[in-house]
Structure formats: C-alpha cells, structure tokens
Amino acid sequence: MSDKWTAADIPDQRGRVAVVTGANTGLGFATAQALAAHGATVVLAVRDADKGKAAAARIADAAPGADVRVQRLDLASLDSIRTAAGELRAAHPRIDLLINNAGVMYTPKMTTADGFEMQFGTNHLGHFALTGLLLDAVLAAPGSRVVTVSSVGHRIQAAIHFDDLQWERSYSRVGAYGQAKLANLMFTYELQRRLAVANATTIAAAAHPGFADTDLFRNMPAILRPLTPLVTRLITQPAEQGALPTLRAATDPAVLGGQYYGPDGFREGRGNPVLVQSSRQSHDPVLQHRLWTVSEELTGVGYPV
C-alpha cells in the first residue's frame, strides 16, 4: 500500500451510498465532501438540520452535480436514533458506507437524553445503536463497510469502567473520553469478528485523525484554552488531512476487516494515512464481548450478526 495515499486515490464512488455522522463540520464535513466529489450519494447525518443543509450547499457548490442529502440525527437520544434509522432504511435499502464519525470531547459532566454519560453515550452507545439498526441495509450492499472514528485518546487514562460506566461516582472528562474512544475500537473489532463468522462481505474498520484542527477543542478545560491557538498552530493538521485515515479505511480496496488507520507522523499526530496499531487492551476479546453485551442491554438494540 502506498505511504502517500491522498484523496486523489479514492476510487470512483458512483452508485454507492455513504452515511456520515456529524458531517456538517470538521472531519465529518471533509469526509463527506471527498466522497461526494468522487460520485457517492452522501447523507449528512447531523443533529442540526439547518446546519446540515448549509453544509450540503457548500459541498454542492464545490462539486457541482453532487448528490448530498441531510438526515436529522441526535446521537445523544435513542428515540432520535431509532427515528433516523427508520427514515434512512426507507430511503436507502442498501448502504455501502456507514461512517461513525460524530463525537464530543472533554465535555463537562452531563448526560444524554437516556441518562448515559455524554461522551460514552454519544461516541459509543449512540453509534452502537445506529449501526445495529442500519446493519441490515449495510449487509444488503456487497462489499460495504462500517468505519468508526476513534482517537489517540483511546490510550490516555483509558479503561472500560464496567463498575461505573456512566461515571456517577466520580468524573474525569479526559478519562471519560478515553473510555469512549477505547469502546469505539472494541466495538469495531467485535463487529468484525461477528461479520466474519457470518461470512458477510461487509467489513468493519477504524480510523483516527491524529491531532486535527476541529471544533472538538471547544470543550478543553478552561485552564488550557489560552493555549489552544498555539497548540493548533504547532501540532494539528487541517481537517481535510485528518479525514484521510477515515477515507482510506472507507474506500481503499486493500483494506481488511479489523484494521485501524491513522497518520504516520510522530506519535501519529499528523501525516499520511497508514495502517497503525491500537492498544493491547483494545484487542482483548473478553472485554470486547462484555462491552458488546452491556451495550445491547443499555441501548435495547440487537444485531443480526
């Protein structure tokens, strides 16, 4: 595989349907824009439909003739997820790419509509529920993929706190983010195992953007906010570059199920998208299965594999 993979290497996506969560800004927008430019029908699954429509208009301006649609989706609400999944299945009986990109980072202690800790509930449980509810449509598309966006943060203070998943006893915004991003990887690996057992042509892969310049930094602790412009200038890369690992995981014909893509630079902070390794803990099959079981119980969503 080339170590200089760019958006120019994305194969023709005409005839394919891609659903991208959190696609009105940042990495999601860059991902959706690149897929649309290569011919995919792209659905921007976003919390704010008006912002989604504005993003769709920007994509259409940059890629005349692009087929871009908007679907309202609030990953912090199981009711919203069920409604959105039903509407998506009705509109698109076959989904070629499901890109679980949306996320929140370092939020103050708060909960979703269903009482889940916000980072775990949105980043992991929301995508777990959405994927399960859409999986029949994804399986109906030969060679389809589920790509979930994780983070280098899956290594920082990261563990799955099964004794206090919702951080009710104490709260660390960094630890909660690490748990959610670790869960994204464990979900990907367990989903891939189940797809392989079912002999599905669908694969599950993961990616991370390195240190990308996006609005995720808005929830940095107050003491660190004055440093944000300096950090942004010194260590981050543009969202368009940060989206490349996701785009490679979603479109490169050489990608295998269960692989993880990220930048090739120092500590995977920036650079060209390549195959990278996640933590040893993320590969623990016992923890993966336990997390999967708990996620089914919490969301009420079962899987057809």
Written as six digits, the tokens of 201 are 């042509």
CA pair distance 154, 156, nearest whole angstrom: 6
Asked if residue 277 belongs to a domain, the reply is yes
Structural domain span for residue 144:
7-299
Q: How many domains does the chain have?
A: 1
Catalytic residues: 177
Q: How confident is the model over 170-199, as pLDDT tens digits?
A: 999 999 999 999 999 999 999 999 999 999
Q: How confident is the model over 278-298, as pLDDT tens digits?
A: 999 999 999 999 999 999 999
3-state secondary structure of 11: coil
Asked if residue 50 belongs to a domain, the reply is yes
Q: How confident is the model over 203-257, as pLDDT tens digits?
A: 999 999 998 765 545 555 555 555 555 555 556 789 999 999 999 999 999 999 9
Asked if residue 2 belongs to a domain, the reply is no
End-to-end alpha carbon distance in the chain: 30
Written as six digits, the tokens of 12 are 């023709």
Written as six digits, the tokens of 223 are 């003491």
CATH of the domain at 221: 3.40.50.720
Q: What is the DSSP letter of 271?
A: S
Lowest-pLDDT choice from 3-7, 36-40, 146-150, 204-208: 3-7
Q: Given this model, what pLDDT does residue 214 score? A: 57
Asked if residue 305 belongs to a domain, the reply is no
Written as six digits, the tokens of 220 are 């940095």
0.95 exceeded by pTM: no
Asked if residue 304 belongs to a domain, the reply is no
Asked if residue 147 belongs to a domain, the reply is yes
Asked if residue 130 belongs to a domain, the reply is yes
Asked if residue 1 belongs to a domain, the reply is no
The residue type at 115: G
